C-alpha cells in the first residue's frame, strides 16, 4: 500500500465517503503490519465541499488548471514590473477564468452526485484567486489535496510594499477631502477584510472540529459494530453449547436407561441359568437313583440276556 496512492484516492472521493474509506485503509495498513503508514493515513483530514470541488478541478481539468497556474505567474510578474497595460489585460483574463472554472467545479460535483451551493462556489472562486496571487497557494492547489478553501488576498503586493507609483500620483492629484474619504474607505475595507478573515478562520476551525467529531463518531460506530458482532457470536456459541449440553444429557439418560435394562436382563438370565442348572442337577440325581434301584438292574440284565 502506497501513501500517495491512498491520498490521491481519498481526496478524489466526495467528502461523505472520505472518513469511512480512510478508516478502511488505516485498518488495511495495520493488518499489513505497517503502523507508521496507518498513522499517516489516519492523519489525513476530510476536505470541505469547496476544497473537494477545487481538488476535482485539478484532477479532472488538468489543462485548465495549468492555464490558471500560468496566468498566476504572469499576473504576479506584471505586479512586480508595475506593468499597467499588462495588468489590465491579465486582470480581465483572471476574472473570466476564475468564474468559468468555479462554474466547471459546480458541474463536476453535480456529475459526482453532489450539487454545491452558490456560497460554496464562491469559496471555490476565492480559492482560485488565492492561487493566482500566492505561489504557495498555487502549489497547494496543484496537488489536488486541499482540505479547506484558500483565502484570496486583498491584492498583490508591490516589490517595495508601497502603493504603485501610478496609484501614488493619482492619490496626490486628488483633493485632501477626497483623499481622506478614500483612506477611510480603505480602512473600512481592511477592517471588513480582517473581520471576514477571522470569520473564515472560525468557520474553518468549526469545520475541523466537526470533521474530528465525525471521525470519532465513525470510529465509535465501528467499535460498536465490532462489539455487537462479537456479542452475537458469543450468544451463538452459548446457544450451540446449550444445545450440545441438552443433547449430551439426553444421550446420558438414554444410556442410563439402556444400562438399567441390560442389568435387569442380565439378572433374569442369571436366574434362568441358575434355575436351569438346578433342574439339570435334579434330573441327573434322579437318573442316578433310578440306575441304582434293584428292579432296574434286573430288568437291565434280562434285556441283556434276551439279546
Give residue limits of the domains in the chain: 252-306
Segment 203-207 long-range contacts (CB within 8 Å, at least 24 positions apart): 204/148, 207/48, 207/148
**Residues 141-169, mean pLDDT to the nearest whole number:** 62
Evaluate if residue 60 carries a pLDDT over 60. yes
Sign of the CA dihedral 12, 14, 19, 23?
negative
Gap between the Cα atoms of 303 and 109, Å rounded: 131
Gap between the Cα atoms of 236 and 188, Å rounded: 70
Quote the pLDDT of residue 160: 32
| 34: exposed, middle or buried (Cβ count in 10 Å: 0-12, 13-18, 19+) | middle
Contact between residue 77 and residue 174 where contact means Cβ atoms under 8 Å apart = no
CA-wise closest residue to 87 among 166, 22, 3: 166
How many C-beta atoms lie closer than 10 Å to residue 187's C-beta?
10
**Whole-number average pLDDT of the chain:** 80
Contact between residue 8 and residue 58 where contact means Cβ atoms under 8 Å apart = no
Quote the pLDDT of residue 165: 39
pLDDT tens by residue, 209-239: 676 676 677 666 666 766 777 787 888 888 8
Q: Which residue has the cell 456560497?
A: 119
Quote the pLDDT of residue 179: 46
pLDDT tens by residue, 269-303: 888 888 888 898 888 888 888 887 766 656 666 66
Choose between 79 and 143: higher pLDDT: 143
Gap between the Cα atoms of 242 and 223, Å rounded: 28
The runs of H, that is alpha helices, within the chain are 3-10, 15-31, 35-42, 49-60, 62-81, 84-111, 118-133, 135-142, 165-173, 176-292, 294-306
Evaluate if residue 156 carries a pLDDT over 70. no
Choose between 102 and 157: higher pLDDT: 102
Quote the pLDDT of residue 159: 35
Amino acid at each position: 500500500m502506497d501513501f500517495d496512492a491512498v491520498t490521491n484516492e481519498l481526496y478524489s472521493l466526495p467528502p461523505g465517503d472520505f472518513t469511512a474509506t480512510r478508516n478502511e485503509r488505516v485498518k488495511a495498513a495495520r493488518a499489513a503490519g505497517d503502523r507508521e503508514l496507518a498513522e499517516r493515513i489516519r492523519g489525513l483530514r476530510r476536505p470541505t465541499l469547496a476544497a473537494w470541488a477545487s481538488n476535482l478541478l485539478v484532477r479532472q481539468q488538468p489543462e485548465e488548471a495549468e492555464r490558471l497556474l500560468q496566468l498566476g505567474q504572469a499576473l504576479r510578474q506584471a505586479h512586480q514590473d508595475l506593468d499597467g497595460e499588462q495588468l489590465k489585460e491579465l486582470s480581465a483574463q483572471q476574472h473570466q477564468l476564475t468564474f468559468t472554472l468555479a462554474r466547471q467545479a459546480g458541474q463536476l460535483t453535480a456529475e459526482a452526485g453532489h450539487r454545491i451551493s452558490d456560497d460554496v462556489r464562491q469559496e471555490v472562486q476565492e480559492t482560485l484567486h488565492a492561487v493566482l496571487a500566492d505561489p504557495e497557494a498555487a502549489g497547494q492547489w496543484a496537488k489536488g489535496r486541499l482540505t479547506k478553501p484558500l483565502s484570496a488576498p486583498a491584492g498583490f503586493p508591490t516589490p517595495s510594499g508601497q502603493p504603485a507609483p501610478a496609484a501614488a500620483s493619482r492619490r496626490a492629484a486628488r483633493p485632501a477631502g477626497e483623499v481622506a474619504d478614500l483612506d477611510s474607505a480603505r480602512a473600512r475595507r481592511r477592517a471588513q477584510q480582517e473581520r471576514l478573515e477571522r470569520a473564515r478562520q472560525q468557520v474553518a476551525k468549526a469545520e475541523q472540529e466537526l470533521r474530528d467529531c465525525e471521525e470519532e463518531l465513525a470510529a465509535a460506530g465501528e467499535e460498536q459494530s465490532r462489539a455487537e458482532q462479537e456479542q452475537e457470536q458469543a450468544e451463538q456459541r452459548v446457544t450451540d453449547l446449550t444445545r450440545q449440553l441438552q443433547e449430551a444429557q439426553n444421550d446420558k439418560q438414554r444410556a442410563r436407561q439402556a444400562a438399567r435394562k441390560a442389568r435387569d436382563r442380565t439378572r433374569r438370565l442369571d436366574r434362568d441359568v441358575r434355575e436351569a442348572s438346578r433342574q439339570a442337577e435334579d434330573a441327573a440325581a434322579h437318573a442316578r437313583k433310578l440306575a441304582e434301584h434293584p428292579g432296574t438292574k434286573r430288568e437291565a440284565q434280562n434285556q441283556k440276556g434276551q439279546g
